[in-house]
Amino acid sequence: MRIHKAALLAFVSIAMLSMTAYAEGDGRKGDRGPRGGPGFGMPGMPGPEMIVGRMAERLGLDDVQREFVRNIMDAARPELQALHEKARANRDALATLDAGSAEVQNIAISNGELATEATLLFARVRSEINAVLTEEQRAELAVLKESRQDRREDRRGDRQERREKQG
């Protein structure tokens, strides 16, 4: 069961981090808009309109760029949905298996393959979107990603400090 959780967590983490990198917020909890609506193929993910809107706001996309980005994301949606459905099927299958079952290993391998496919899909989407951006917009995106990474590391440090105080 531990392998399943790790593989599923990896898959979901890759999906969330890859897509939200383009929807950079400023770190405030309420700044990310509604969740759970028609996401980018996965529940809890921001929808393409939210991501495009955030990119347009943060990077100053013009109307043509917005349309290109929207089309790129719309084209990737069926692939992401298919990956999500496969992951769901694996999760459902694991729920019915005994932890010692040989099939658990096959599902763990499948989850790893799904994570690989998701990584490649998001890398392709990022590459296609980067091709639409100007050099200045790509530089600003790099700054936003670095800022996001700094905030993530700060939160990680805060959590570690709390654990040390508790334990």
Please compute the mean of the pLDDT values over residues 40-66 and round it to a whole number: 79
| Per-domain boundaries in the chain | 2-166
- pLDDT band, very low/low/confident/very high, at 126 (cuts 50, 70, 90): very high
> What dihedral do alpha carbons 97, 9, 76, 67 form, nearest 10°?
150
Cβ-based neighbours of 36, under 8 Å, separated by 6 or more: 43, 44
Q: Residue 73 and residue 128: Cα distance in Å, rounded?
A: 10
Q: What is the pLDDT of residues 53-65, one digit of tens each?
A: 888 899 999 999 9
**Amino acid making up residue 129:** I
| Lowest mean pLDDT across 8-17, 28-37, 97-106 | 28-37
- Inform me whether the pLDDT recorded for 37 exceeds 60: no
Locate 147 and state its tokens. 């800022």
pLDDT at 95 over 70: yes
